């Protein structure tokens, strides 16, 4: 071969080599980036080329799909009673992506999950349309509806758990939104989505309050403080404490009193202090135990856990609930659920759940099964123990005290005839110098011969109630009662 031809051959060989390198680079290195690039419409077109699998509650789908015309997407998502279930499903929108269950389990719902390879192969060989799998939740439709109805026109949230397994039974928010309104593309969908953004709606209807909003838990946190006191061995359920009224906060000239100046709070036992929600007893207890012990106990219940620590198996990582490292006066106030103490409704449901389950806290989860189109189970969630915040003996003492709260104390609105109910009310200060309306809380559980099938946390963030009438026992307890009754009715 003469020299010019050899040069041409070498040059062509280098071009082929460069092409092969570039091709492999694109397919092996850049593939994922190209696949997820926002300008790559092929992925979205494929996602909506067939009906999505469904999200299942109580054996029935709460989602669907419908054919649309006029764009590249053949199907769009539909929702049954979208506002009720939005805190659970999230949304799947042709124009705005997906969130929560719709996002987390998108490969299952579209049928693209590697575990559905056999199903895809059969569909391809038989010429059938690809099908998505289903996401089977742990939710209880009656409990969810009871929570929604109970909130009424109030802003707030409800979380309910089965203490025996950790299965989440209800997650309800108000205000809420209907994901169907912006499931497609076009001006109407865009306008609907934009109208729901916080900058356009200060009520922030797309905020998942049950999981992502933290509030001062108020007096419901006294259950955690009481648990720390009992676990320390320095306090007993019915032994009187040396608790002056009012209580002078440590390193402070400020005095802390009790609601209504209840005389029963002076030197009250743990049971009586929970019964009448005595600030003085629990602020003093928190101070005497110290910030380190209080943090340690709170963390056993789930506080201060990093979002990636796996404390919950939920579709959107819950905002962390916080019991902070703090100075003595702030620690005393944190012991009654104020200061920098912050908790989600799910977290406070976990507190009630652990007490109801004789001190054993199960890991909350929302998805029971992932099911292939042929109904084969692809994945099954197994209940897991998260921690033991309190001994069985002390948990049973706390149960006695919480049942006293409902039977003869501030939580009488949560009473269910013929059912053993334990609860704790809370009214948490809100705003600088408590200038805003307080938050009304109630946490509770109901017991049967087979243990406790439900623990609930309800918080009312705002309502039309006069400020003087805002109290956990008045506003939140009836909501929790309705949820407990719904679950119990399903067990009969």
- Shared domain check, 348 and 475: yes
pLDDT given for residue 126 in this prediction: 66
pLDDT given for residue 33 in this prediction: 63
Q: Is residue 142 in some structural domain?
A: no
Banded model confidence at residue 431, pLDDT cuts 50, 70, 90: low
**Token digits of residue 399:** 């149960």
**DSSP count for the chain of H helices, then E strands:** 18, 18
Residue 480 pLDDT more than 50? yes
Mean pLDDT of 374-401: 96
Residue matched to tokens 């469904």? 54
- Shared domain check, 218 and 127: no
Mean pLDDT of 41-63: 87
Banded model confidence at residue 44, pLDDT cuts 50, 70, 90: confident
Respond yes or no: is residue 219 known to be catalytic.
yes
The last residue of one of the domains, among 118, 137, 156, is 137
* CA distance from start to end of the chain: 92
Residue 3 pLDDT more than 80? no
pLDDT digits (tens, 9 = 90+) for 187-202: 999 999 999 999 999 9
pLDDT digits (tens, 9 = 90+) for 72-97: 788 999 999 999 999 999 999 999 99
Q: Cα(358)–Cα(451) distance, rounded to whole angstroms?
A: 9
pLDDT digits (tens, 9 = 90+) for 157-174: 999 999 999 999 999 999
Q: Any residues with CB less than 8 A from the CB of 351 and at least 6 apart, and which?
A: 220, 221, 223, 224, 301, 302, 443, 457
- Shared domain check, 217 and 68: no
- Shared domain check, 454 and 316: yes
Helix boundaries (H) for 196-344? 209-212, 222-232, 270-275, 279-289, 291-300, 328-334
Number of domains in the chain: 2
Mean pLDDT of 278-299: 98
What Å distances lie between residue 17 and 9, 11, 25, 492, CA to CA? 12, 10, 12, 72
The dihedral built from the CA positions of residue 307, 313, 315 and 318, taken in this order, carries a sign that is negative
Q: Give the residue, 20 or 461, on which the prediction is more confident.
A: 461
Q: Is residue 457 in some structural domain?
A: yes
Which of the residue ranges 110-114, 264-268, 272-276 would you say has the lowest mean pLDDT? 110-114
- Shared domain check, 466 and 328: yes
Please check whether residue 488 is in contact with residue 422, taking contact to mean a CB–CB distance below 8 angstroms: no
Banded model confidence at residue 306, pLDDT cuts 50, 70, 90: low
Helix boundaries (H) for 242-391? 270-275, 279-289, 291-300, 328-334, 345-356
**Would you put residue 420 in left (φ > 0), alpha (ψ -120 to 50) or beta?**
beta
Residue range(s) defining the domain that contains residue 239: 211-370+382-491
Q: Cα(475)–Cα(471) distance, rounded to whole angstroms?
A: 6
Mean pLDDT of 390-418: 97
Q: Is residue 51 in some structural domain?
A: yes
Residue 63 pLDDT more than 90? yes
Beta-strand pair 55-57/60-61: antiparallel
Question: In 3-state terms, what secondary structure has residue 424?
Answer: strand
Q: Cα(233)–Cα(159) distance, rounded to whole angstroms?
A: 32
Banded model confidence at residue 466, pLDDT cuts 50, 70, 90: very low
The last residue of one of the domains, among 137, 158, 177, is 137
pLDDT given for residue 124 in this prediction: 62
Query: Among 439, 416, 409, which residue's Cα sits nearest to residue 426?
Result: 439
The last residue of one of the domains, among 137, 170, 199, is 137
The dihedral built from the CA positions of residue 355, 356, 360 and 362, taken in this order, carries a sign that is negative
The answer to whether the predicted template modeling score (pTM) of the entire model surpasses 0.75 is: yes
- Shared domain check, 120 and 226: no
Q: What is the 3-state secondary structure (H, E, C) of 103-121?
A: HHCHHHHHCCCHHHHHHHH
**Token digits of residue 41:** 């419409």
Q: Is residue 232 in some structural domain?
A: yes
Residue 361 per-residue DSSP state: E
- Shared domain check, 428 and 280: yes
- Shared domain check, 353 and 445: yes
Which of the residue ranges 17-31, 111-125, 251-265, 268-282 would you say has the lowest mean pLDDT? 17-31
Please check whether residue 348 is in contact with residue 220, taking contact to mean a CB–CB distance below 8 angstroms: yes
pLDDT digits (tens, 9 = 90+) for 96-120: 999 999 999 999 999 988 888 777 6
Mean pLDDT of 202-209: 95
Q: Is residue 410 in some structural domain?
A: yes
pLDDT given for residue 10 in this prediction: 78
Residue 260 pLDDT more than 70? yes
Banded model confidence at residue 2, pLDDT cuts 50, 70, 90: confident
- As a whole number, the mean pLDDT across the chain is 90
396 burial level (CB within 10 Å; 0-12, 13-18, 19+): middle
Assign residue 69 the CATH number of its domain.
3.90.1310.10
Query: Which member of 141, 219, 387, 452 is catalytic?
Result: 219
Assign residue 302 the CATH number of its domain.
3.40.710.10
pLDDT given for residue 379 in this prediction: 95
Q: Is residue 29 in some structural domain?
A: no
Banded model confidence at residue 351, pLDDT cuts 50, 70, 90: very high
């Amino acid at each position: 071969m003469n020299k010019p031809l050899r040069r041409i051959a070498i040059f062509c060989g280098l071009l082929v080599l460069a092409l092969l390198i570039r091709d492999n680079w694109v397919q092996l290195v850049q593939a994922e980036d190209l696949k997820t690039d926002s300008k790559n419409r092929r992925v979205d077109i494929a996602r909506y080329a067939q009906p999505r699998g469904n999200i299942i509650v109580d054996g029935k789908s709460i989602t669907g799909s419908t054919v649309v015309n006029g764009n590249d997407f053949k199907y769009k998502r539909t929702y049954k009673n979208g506002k009720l279930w939005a805190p659970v499903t999230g949304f799947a929108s042709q124009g705005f992506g997906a969130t929560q269950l719709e996002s987390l389990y998108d490969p299952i719902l579209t049928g693209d999950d590697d575990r559905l390879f056999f199903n895809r192969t059969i569909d391809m060989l038989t010429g059938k349309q690809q099908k998505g799998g289903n996401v089977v939740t742990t939710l209880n439709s009656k409990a969810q509806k009871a929570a929604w109805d109970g909130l009424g026109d109030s802003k707030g949230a409800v979380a309910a758990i089965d203490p025996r397994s950790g299965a989440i039974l209800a997650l309800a928010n108000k205000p809420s939104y209907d994901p169907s309104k912006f499931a497609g593309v076009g001006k109407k969908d865009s306008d609907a989505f934009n109208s729901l953004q916080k900058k356009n709606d200060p009520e922030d209807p797309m905020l998942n309050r049950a999981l992502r909003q933290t509030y001062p838990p108020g007096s419901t946190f006294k259950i955690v403080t009481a648990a720390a006191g009992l676990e320390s061995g320095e306090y007993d359920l019915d032994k009187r404490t040396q608790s002056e009224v009012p209580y002078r906060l440590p390193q402070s000239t400020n005095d802390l009193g009790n609601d209504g100046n209840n005389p029963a709070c002076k030197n009250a036992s743990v049971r009586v202090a929970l019964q009448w929600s005595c600030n003085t007893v629990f602020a003093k207890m928190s101070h005497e135990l110290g910030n380190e012990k209080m943090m340690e106990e709170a963390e056993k219940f789930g506080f201060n856990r990093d979002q990636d620590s796996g404390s919950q198996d939920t579709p959107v990582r819950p905002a962390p609930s916080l019991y902070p490292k703090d100075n003595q006066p702030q620690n005393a106030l944190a012991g009654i659920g104020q200061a920098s103490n912050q908790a989600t409704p799910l977290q406070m449901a976990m507190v009630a759940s652990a007490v109801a389950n004789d001190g054993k806290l199960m890991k909350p989860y929302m998805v029971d099964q992932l099911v292939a189109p042929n109904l084969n189970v692809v994945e099954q969630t197994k209940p897991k123990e998260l921690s033991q915040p309190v001994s069985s003996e002390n948990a049973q003492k706390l149960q006695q005290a919480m049942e006293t709260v409902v039977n003869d104390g501030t939580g009488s609105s949560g009473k269910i005839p013929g059912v053993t109910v334990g609860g704790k009310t809370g009214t948490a200060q809100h705003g600088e110098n408590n200038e805003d309306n307080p938050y009304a809380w109630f946490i509770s559980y109901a017991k049967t011969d087979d243990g406790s099938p439900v623990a609930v946390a309800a918080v009312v963030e705002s309502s039309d109630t006069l400020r003087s009438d805002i109290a956990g026992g008045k506003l939140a307890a009836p909501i929790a009662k309705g949820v407990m009754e719904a679950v119990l009715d399903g067990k009969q």
